[in-house]
């Protein structure tokens, strides 16, 4: 099992903020040999858009130079926390630019 974690992340519906999260973690792996590979998110809610959080498709966005984006397959929203099953990381939509000869 691999654990990714961080301080801040967002759940987005298109370009709209659905939820601002803190203290997030994603556990990725199999529970046992018979189980499918899963990615499970747990995070604390700081801010939430009650309409946008119930729309689809939703994406977990982790801020980086090139943001990491996981599509949300299923989501449970509590009063202070969210739990979700995530899909595979989306490939970035950019072209790397290098100086000639590099």
Q: Is residue 93 part of a domain?
A: no
pTM, full prediction: 0.86
Q: Kindly indicate the confidence band of residue 97, based on its pLDDT and cuts at 50, 70 and 90.
A: low
> Do residues 40 and 48 lie in contact, with contact meaning Cβ atoms separated by under 8 Å?
no
Q: Is residue 76 part of a domain?
A: yes
Q: What is the pLDDT of residues 9-59, one digit of tens each?
A: 999 999 999 999 999 999 999 877 887 889 999 999 999 999 999 999 999
In 3D space, the residue among 55, 58, 73, 56 whose CA is nearest the CA of residue 10 turns out to be: 58
Torsional sign, CA 85, 89, 94, 98? positive
Q: Is residue 59 part of a domain?
A: yes
Q: Is residue 24 part of a domain?
A: yes
> Do residues 7 and 22 lie in contact, with contact meaning Cβ atoms separated by under 8 Å?
yes
Give the number of domains in the chain. 1
Q: Kindly indicate the confidence band of residue 94, based on its pLDDT and cuts at 50, 70 and 90.
A: low
Range of the domain at 74: 2-86
> What is the model's pLDDT at position 95?
56
């Amino acid at each position: 099992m691999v654990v990714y974690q961080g301080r801040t992340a967002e759940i987005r519906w298109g370009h709209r903020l659905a939820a601002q999260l803190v203290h997030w973690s994603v556990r990725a792996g199999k529970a046992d040999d018979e189980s499918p590979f899963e990615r499970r998110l747990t995070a604390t809610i700081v801010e939430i858009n009650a309409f946008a959080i119930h729309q689809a498709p939703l994406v977990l966005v982790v801020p980086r130079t090139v943001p990491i984006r996981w599509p949300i397959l299923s989501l449970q929203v509590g009063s202070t926390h969210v739990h979700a099953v995530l899909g595979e990381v989306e490939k970035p939509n950019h072209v790397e630019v290098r100086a000639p000869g590099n």
